[in-house]
């Protein structure tokens, strides 16, 4: 295991999710309150041309990062943060959004969707779906081209991005230029080998994922539905070109890799980055970690590759 990862795990062990806690228990509630209240570490803020605090037509808060301009039209990236559908905000991946905006010369829209358990499925998905449509419609006002739109996210945000892509495909919406899935949640069954091998001791645990699922889906809905488990969608044809990033020591590893293989069969896979020695969330170690630098370079390269000017019109 990477030494930087090992040291992180040693310090993170004290804050691990209670092993036997379940959704609604005193232990789980206390854990969630503590995680939400924890101050965020300040990371180096990559400089961008302009940062706008806005809201969508439906009232969803967003932060728009506009790169320093050269008069050319920029691609658009709509980004959904992670946090198991229950944690996270505009600050969680502010650094990531800035890095993408500056590195890919893209306008990035960071979406502060509603959180479970107070707002369970489909509220977070609806917010992300609506924010994507709103961002594409308003792209020109930030110097971006809505016809060159990618969506993406980390972990639960990757789940939401994949679900938005499926939902848009199924209603015949304007095609997306690409999809960025960074160690995404894709399969509700939690039955892969990586879940068995990495259930504990690697930051994200199987018990924590069970809590996240129970908080997000509270009404007995079929969790195998593709809006909840995009990795179980029967047909992947028509989905955008996709970059998938997974980590060796992540319970979610195998479901991400399996989805990537299915996309590859349909020529919809741009790339699969399997980060050896890494854990869930490793990209947040950018720029200190070599693996995080490699992963972010792949993300930026994918944005550049997939957003060459097209004749596709916006909604």
Residues marked active site are found at: 155, 250, 280
- 229: closest CA among 160, 178, 127, 183? 160
Between β-strands 61-66 and 50-55, what pairing exists: parallel, antiparallel or unpaired?
Answer: antiparallel
Measured CA to CA, the distance from residue 141 to residue 283 in angstroms comes to 30
Question: 291 φ, ψ to 5°?
Answer: -65, -40
């Amino acid at each position: 295991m990477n030494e930087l990862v090992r040291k992180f795990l040693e310090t993170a062990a004290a804050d691990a999710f209670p092993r036997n806690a379940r959704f609604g228990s005193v232990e789980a509630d206390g854990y969630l309150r503590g995680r939400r209240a924890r101050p965020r570490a300040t990371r180096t803020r990559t400089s961008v041309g302009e940062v706008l605090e806005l809201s969508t037509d439906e009232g969803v808060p967003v932060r728009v990062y506009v790169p320093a301009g050269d008069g050319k039209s920029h691609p658009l990236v709509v980004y959904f943060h992670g946090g198991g559908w229950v944690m996270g905000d505009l600050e969680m991946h502010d650094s990531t959004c800035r890095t993408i905006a500056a590195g890919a010369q893209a306008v990035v829209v960071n979406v502060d969707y509603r959180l479970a358990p107070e707002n369970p499925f489909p509220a977070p998905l609806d917010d992300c779906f609506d924010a994507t449509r709103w961002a594409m419609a308003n792209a020109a006002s930030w110097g971006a081209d809505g016809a060159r739109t990618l969506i993406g996210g980390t972990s639960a945000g990757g789940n939401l991005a994949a679900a938005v892509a499926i939902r848009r495909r199924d209603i015949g919406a304007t095609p997306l230029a690409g999809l960025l899935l960074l160690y995404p949640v894709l399969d509700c069954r939690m039955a892969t080998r990586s879940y068995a091998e990495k259930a504990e001791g690697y930051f994200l645990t199987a018990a924590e994922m069970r809590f996240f699922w129970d908080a997000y889906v509270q009404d007995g809905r079929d969790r195998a539905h593709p809006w909840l488990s995009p990795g179980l969608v029967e047909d992947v044809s028509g989905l955008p070109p996709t970059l998938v990033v997974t980590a060796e020591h992540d319970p979610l590893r195998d479901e991400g890799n399996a989805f990537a293989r299915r996309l590859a069969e349909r020529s919809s896979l741009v790339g699969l980055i399997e980060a050896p020695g890494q854990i869930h969330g490793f990209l947040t170690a950018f720029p200190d970690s070599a693996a995080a630098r490699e992963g972010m370079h792949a993300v930026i390269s994918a944005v550049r590759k997939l957003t060459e000017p097209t004749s596709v019109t916006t909604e």
